[in-house]
Structure 1
Amino acid sequence: MVLQLRRAALAVAGISALVFLVGLALGRDGLWHPALVVTGFGVALGLGALARVASYQYTAWIVACVIAALTYPGGFDSWGGVQLAGGILMTTIIQLVMFGMATQMSISDFAGVVRHPRGLPVGLLGHYLVMPLGAFILVSITDLPAEIELGVILYGCVSSGLASNVMSMLAKANLGLAVTITAMSTIAAPLATPLLVQLLGGRVVDVDVVKMVFDVIQITLVPVTAALLVDYIKTAPRRARTIVHGAAVISAGWLVFMVAGGWSALTGNMSPHGVTAFKSLYQIAAAILIAEAYAAAVNRWPVVTRYMPYASMFGIMYYNTITTAAGRDALLDVGITLLIIGLVHNLTGYVFGYWGARGLGLDKASARATTFEVGLQNGGMATGLATGMGLLGTAGLAAAVFSPLGNVTGSMLANYWSRRPIDGPVDEPDPVDADEAERIEAVGAATTGIDAEARQ
């Protein structure tokens, strides 16, 4: 039934493509505009029917959303009086995306630090030295508008995203090393990202380092900590779980107090930085409550964990679509340039990640892992920071272009490596428990559209 639906979607896409070409030739916008959108979504839905390109389904959905945003930008401005690009809404969705993806992590991921004395430095240096400098050099030799330049630098200074773990799994790389680099680069982000953006992008736009530190904490560490709290609750002793339950009750009371007027009463005389810091406490309380609720939901309905990555994928499509609509005119002017910059930046990360690891004597499986960990950045964090700066339609464009591009190149490289067994000596891989492997496979199914059995 599903296969028949996908084939029907491809047929509709083919017909719509013909209508698009006819409408374009006749210069009839009312004909080719909707036909183009239908073609995009038809291809996205039907791609799963074609085995050779099925792994690009998620990227196809993003492209379809981008096409819709470019064609009908006004349709993504506000719905029912709610501004879709509003800071609170965008930040909340990005936090939920981070939480959903981080539920595929575990506390044990951080134990890999001591097992990777050489691989971890390659990943961290790649993220916070090679990629930022690469972004800075690329914008220095091109003629992009200042705020879009800042977006490229911003994207180059963020941590790794969980998509890199999926690519490592597909490529038969050292998954334990990949997960460890992701975890540690996320922990380092609240200090590393703001300082690097100030150093490399401060000449473009004034950067409030203190505010950005708290923005990174809110966008990444708060939801990631909530997800790790869920992981902790699973195996925590009864006394510890009781403490968490108590903290959730206190958090619920605190949030009710804040909504009932406590926020205005407590922040009325605070400085802007004080309000930002206080907001973090507000969000930590919300994170504890969400962690408790999610843990209870998983305990009652275990299948929830399989669908969380899909919810995250939907969130990513949302903020990419809204960003594209907000910056449509700018993207049409510099889109090709951004694509070229994004490709060079992405490939630079791959090259350093692989050969940097090999140069330090790491085996090929570990080098494959560092390739993806360095080359694929956290687009959600970059989008969230651009939103916090009020520059979603300009500084947010780089992430909207670079993230889908990275998914395409990463999937191509992962599929290439998956068909080529590793020859030569291979170090003993870092152990990944069955639960964690299953969680990462769930992300893989959401991002590539291929389940674990289909990859065998």
Structure 2
Amino acid sequence: MKAVASFSAFVGKTFAIWVILFAVLGFFFPATFKQVAPYIVWLLGIIMFGMGLTLSVDDFRELVKRPFEVAIGVFAHFLIMPTIAVILTRIIPMPPEVAAGVILVGCCPGGTSSNVMTYLAKGDVALSVACTSVTTLAAPIVTPFLVWMFASQYLPVDPMSMFISIVQVILLPLALGFIFQKLIPGVVKGAMPLLPIISVVGIVLIVAAVVGASKGAIAQSGLLIFAIVVLHNGFGYLFGYFAAKLFGLNLTKRKALAIEVGMQNSGLGAALATAYFSPIAAVPSAIFSVWHNISGALIANYFSGRTDEEQEDAVPATR
């Protein structure tokens, strides 16, 4: 079991490398990975089930103990990222499918990778986990509404069907994972070392499947989509940081909210785009999956050397 735990830790630490590797494999071997596309929803469900296994009551106690700070994070996330997405689609010419995909990933809840990056950044991990949990639970209502409001000008949006899908792929697996944790804690504890491996496998297969199914679109406009994703993600970090600063939160909490706002559950974005729009609309989510793990590691490294006593008012780099 020690060997499994060590390998799992290695896979978790090198997550960004695996995502990049499988994105490249998906591009060069599209026929192989396109076969995974019908199972994207199932893969995401497995990932969310794993997240449910790790949830605890303590994660939600932060909401009771610090409702104001959690509310800032949740509202900042669902306000900043969709707004940036809409602005980018207005000022940068792009196909309607890509525009819908950019808006969709901007309307998704926080990604669980943000909790790891916040830890590496020496930020407020409890606040990050609470914000991720609340945005995830709010996603069935908030995400379809925001996508309908902002993306329906590009492609038809069925918010009710999207609501049902998010409940099925997010809430039900989360709830099942949480129930399993309570009913068979010994088995769940023994399986914990495997969870990072399962999550990484799920995400890299989703990314490879989306890239494989959209090879032509990526070859034609991949650089444009990449530039949009970099801007979207970078401005998310920047405005998340300043939103926290605006409300007087200390540097540790600013780090958490900057990362929490900038990082998305792009796996959900890819699943919804594939199901309701087109494979091309899923490309921004796939590229976001690759890039935000790289940028998250960079900004975590930057933040880790900053403390309240040292350069308290430093502005985070968005490189």
TM-score, with length taken from structure 1: 0.63
Aligned to 1:395: 281
Deviation at 1:108, TM superposition (A): 2.4
Instruction: Tell me, in whole angstroms, the C-alpha distance in 2 between the residues paired with 1:226 and 1:142.
Output: 42
Q: C-alpha displacement at 1:55, in angstroms? A: 8.6
Match of 1:92 among 42, 45, 65: 42
Q: Distance in 2 between matches of 1:55 and 1:421?
A: 26
Letter in 1 for 2:234: L
TM-superposed deviation, 1:300: 4.3
Letter in 2 for 1:59: A
Pick from 82, 87, 102: which aligns with 1:152?
Answer: 102
CA distance in 1, matches of 2:188, 2:55: 19
Corresponding residue of 2:54: 104
Matches within 5 A, 1:53-132: 57-78=14-35, 84-86=36-38, 89-132=39-82
- Find the residue that maps to 1:203 and give its secondary structure: coil
Deviation at 1:415, TM superposition (A): 1.7
Deviation at 1:152, TM superposition (A): 0.6
CA distance in 2, matches of 1:58, 1:85: 21
CA drift of 1:418 comes to 2.0
Choose between structure 1 and 2 for higher RCO, CA contacts under 8 A separated by at least 6 residues. Answer: 2
Q: 2:259 aligns with which of 364, 372, 375?
A: 372
**TM-score (norm: length of structure 2):** 0.89
Matches within 5 A, 1:92-241: 92-233=42-183
CA distance in 2, matches of 1:186, 1:299: 26
Give the C-alpha shift of residue 324 in structure 1. Answer: 0.2
Change (3 A) 1:120 1:161: same
Does residue 310 of the first structure (1) align with residue 197 of the second (2)? Answer: yes
Counterpart-to-counterpart distance in 1, 2:52 and 2:223: 33
Could you tell me which amino acid in structure 1 is paired with residue 270 of structure 2?
T
Match of 1:429 in 2: none
Letter in 1 for 2:34: D
User: In the alignment, residue 25 of structure 2 is paired with which amino acid?
Assistant: A
- Partners of 2:12 and 2:200 within 8 A in 1: no
Instruction: Kindly provide the CA deviation profile for residues 41-70 of structure 1, in whole angstroms up to 9, marking residues without a partner as x.
Output: xxxx9xx8xxxxx99722111111111121
Aligned partners of 2:19 and 2:204 also within 8 Å: yes
CA shift for structure 1 position 339: 1.2
Contact 2:180–2:188 (8 Å) recurs in 1: no
Contact 2:251 2:307 in 1 (8 A): no
CA distance in structure 2 between the partners assigned to 1:76 and 1:314 by the alignment? 13
Establish whether residue 411 from structure 1 lines up as the match of residue 310 from structure 2: no
CA distance in 1, matches of 2:261, 2:52: 19
Q: For the Cα contact (< 8 Å) 1:327–1:394, is it kept in 2?
A: yes
Tell me, in whole angstroms, the C-alpha distance in 1 between the residues paired with 2:25 and 2:202.
16
Structure 1 residues 319 and 333, CA, compared in 2 at 3 Å: closer, same or farther? Answer: same
Give the whole-Å Cα distance in 2 for the aligned partners of 1:209 and 1:301. 35
Tell me which amino acid in the other structure corresponds to 2:227. I
Aligned partners of 1:162 and 1:77: how far apart in 2? 25
CA distance in 2, matches of 1:118, 1:404: 32
What is the one-letter code of the residue matched to 1:71? F
Q: 1:97 to 1:300 in 2, by over 3 A?
A: closer
Counterparts of residues 437-456 of structure 1 (less than 5 Å): none
Query: What amino acid does structure 1 have at the position aligned with 2:298?
Result: M
Tell me how large the CA RMSD over aligned residues is. Answer: 2.0
Deviation at 1:317, TM superposition (A): 0.4
Cα displacement (A) at 1:303: 3.1
Query: What is the deviation of 1:141?
Result: 1.4
% of aligned pairs identical?
31
* Corresponding residue number in structure 1 for 2:186: 299
What's 1:334 paired with?
Answer: 221
Tell me the CA shift for residue 390 of structure 1: 5.2
Letter in 2 for 1:326: A
**Deviations, residues 192-213 of structure 1 (Å, cap 9, x unaligned):** 1001000000011110111011
Residue in structure 2 matched with residue 351 of structure 1 by the alignment: 238
Q: Tell me the equivalent position of 1:321.
A: 208
Residue 145 of structure 1 and its aligned partner are, at CA, apart by: 1.4
Q: Answer yes or no: is 1:423 the counterpart of 2:313.
A: no
Unaligned runs of 5+ in 1: 1-44, 49-53, 79-83, 234-294, 427-456
> Quick check: 2:266–2:285 contact (8 Å CA) kept in 1?
yes
Partner residue, 2:4: none
Aligned equivalent of 1:360: 247
Amino acid of the structure 2 residue aligned with 1:402: F
Match of 1:81 in 2: none
Does the Cα contact within 8 Å between 2:236 and 2:262 map onto a contact in 1?
yes
Gaps (5+ residues) in structure 2? 1-6, 313-319
Aligned-residue offset at 1:132 = 0.4
Distance in 2 separating the partners of 1:185 and 1:101: 14
C-alpha distance in structure 1 between counterparts of 2:24 and 2:261, whole Å: 29
